[in-house]
Structure 1
Amino acid sequence: MTDHATPDTLSGDETIVRPEFDAPPGDPLALLREWLEGATAAGAREPLSASLATAGPTVTGGPSLPSTRIILVKNVDEVGLVFGTSASSRKGRDLAGTPYGALGFYWRETMQQLRVEGPVRRLDAEESAALFADRPRAAQATTAASRQGLPLDDEAELVAAAMALDESVGEIPRPDDWAAYRLEPTAIEFWQGRANRLHRRLAYLRTNLTSPWTHARLQP
């Protein structure tokens, strides 16, 4: 006999009251920061981890194709969301050719999802250096020793090089191609899940970075 029972795919706390769905505020970036802080306070695991989607050409020079990976958002300010990566990595190359990205956050504990889309800008050397300096030393060492995305010939050699940098004296220099990036949103969606699939959705849009935000409730 075939089991048609619905799998338990949404198991967080759906009793949390979200007044913004009934009275949307004017500034979605402030609300985004509020959601991030709330997820952290609620004990969501790795609340700043997000899926970053970019688009770039195939190795054969064909049409642009999407790719996605999990990154750590390091800062959310009044302008956008900041993260760091190697400019020579696939996402760095994608963003150089198509400077636009989409971020997706999901917190199972609170049944919340955030979708953020917009242009992505590489920040200057000073801002990149500050972000690199804020990383754990072991992460700095790995970044300096590795050539992200290139074939790995000798794992033991890479590990030894990273450990030597980690145990060295003084600051670890930031690689020239490692940079900070900021996604400046033109679209933000706030999603609150419900087990019966009557999800609550609130979407904000603006045509460019200087135009006013508009918002609308969306059907599940």
Structure 2
Amino acid sequence: MDIAGMRRDYDGVELLEENIHSTPSQLFEQWLEEAVAAGVTDPNSMVLSTVSPSGTPSSRVVLAKDITDRGVTFFTNYDSQKAHEIGANPNVSLLFHWAELNRVVRIEGRAERISDEDSDRYFDSRPRGSRLGAIASPQSQVIASRSVLTDKIAELEKSEEPIKRPANWGGYLVRPSSVEFWQGRPDRVHDRMRYRVDGAQWVKERLAP
């Protein structure tokens, strides 16, 4: 297979300094809406990268569940690998890739747990099966077989107790310090605009492709 020969040209709307918003959250919201309108599959999916105490990076795909001026929120098991690594080093990166629009958003920042009340509110909004799955799964741990999960879910299904959020499951807010918007352009002369925190303000700057 000729991987080296795999290439295509990129095209997209110019990303110019005079046409972008003053804060990254505004531009991100615009791009997300355009990704939804373009029919992008799972437009809120993102790659979350963390670093272990020994310095080993790891990445996985998670879903963003809230995006505001404060940052990006996702949910997970607090006993998972990602949660343990965030506990040791809260510096993380996020990456959104909308291939249909030739766009990438890269976010660097610090992750912090959200309140129990906010985690409860989101957990209660999830479909019943998703709530049971979150309770049943010892995320990131080695298990003997899939039946470990299905048997536990079947057991939970028999219970008449309310399905409450387990204490080891909840949300993180990633507060960004840097947000880069990448727009694919012809001949690899891509547009890269970065917002960077400088004191209490966002500074906009263009990066070479």
Aligned pair in 2 of structure 1 residues 8, 169: CA closer, same or farther (>3 Å)?
Answer: farther
Instruction: Give the 3-state SS of the residue equivalent to 2:105 in structure 1.
Output: strand
Amino acid at match of 1:69: R
Paired residue type of 1:180: G
Separation of aligned partners in 2, 1:141 and 1:40: 28
Alignment partner of 1:54 is 2:50:
yes
What does the per-residue CA deviation read over 1:6-35, in whole Å, with 9 as the maximum and x for residues that have no partner?
413566xx24x3455443321111111111
Cα offsets for 1:187-207 (capped at 9, x unmatched)? 000001135211111001014
Tell me which of 114, 124, 130 is aligned to 1:123: 114
In structure 1, stretches of 5+ residues that fail to align are: 58-62
Identity score, percent: 33
Counterparts in 2 of 1:94 and 1:5: CA distance versus 1, 3 Å = closer
| C-alpha RMSD of matched pairs (Å) | 2.3
How far is 1:167 from its partner?
A: 6.9
Per-residue displacement from partner, 1:24-82 (whole Å, max 9, x unpaired)?
3211111111111111111111100000001122xxxxx32211100001111121101
In structure 2, how many angstroms separate the alpha carbons of the residues matched to 1:166 and 1:50?
31
**After superposition, where does 1:140-219 map in structure 2 within 5 Å?**
140-165=131-156, 169=160, 171-207=162-198, 211-219=200-208
CA contact (8 A) 1:10 1:111 kept: no
Shift in alpha-carbon separation, 1:166–1:214, aligned structure 2, 3 A: farther
Structure 1 equivalent of residue 94 of structure 2: 103
- Distance of 1:166 and 1:197 partners within structure 2: 53
How far has the Cα of 1:175 moved from its partner? 1.3
Opposite residue 26 of structure 2, the aligned amino acid is A
CA contact (8 A) 2:14 2:191 kept: no
Q: Offset at 1:146?
A: 1.0
Question: Structure 1: which 4+ aligned runs deviate by more than 4 Å?
Answer: 18-22, 166-170
Partner Cα separation in structure 1 for residue 78 and residue 153 of structure 2: 20
Aligned residues: 209
Superposed displacement of residue 164, structure 1? 4.4
Deviation string, structure 1 residues 90-133 (Cα, Å, up to 9, x no partner): 11011111112110000111100000111111011101111212
Q: Given the two structures, how large is their TM-score scaled by the length of structure 2? A: 0.90
More helix by share: 2
Cα distance change, pair 86–200 in 1 and its aligned pair in 2 (3 A): same
Higher relative contact order (CA 8 A, sep 6+): 2
Residue of structure 2 equivalent to 1:60:
none
* Partners of 2:3 and 2:22 in 1: CA distance: 43
Partner of residue 35 from structure 2, selected from 36, 39, 43: 39
Q: Distance in 1 between matches of 2:4 and 2:56?
A: 36
Question: Structure 2 CA distance, aligned partners of 1:176 and 1:78?
Answer: 27
Change (3 A) 1:185 1:48: same
Residue aligning to 2:83? 92
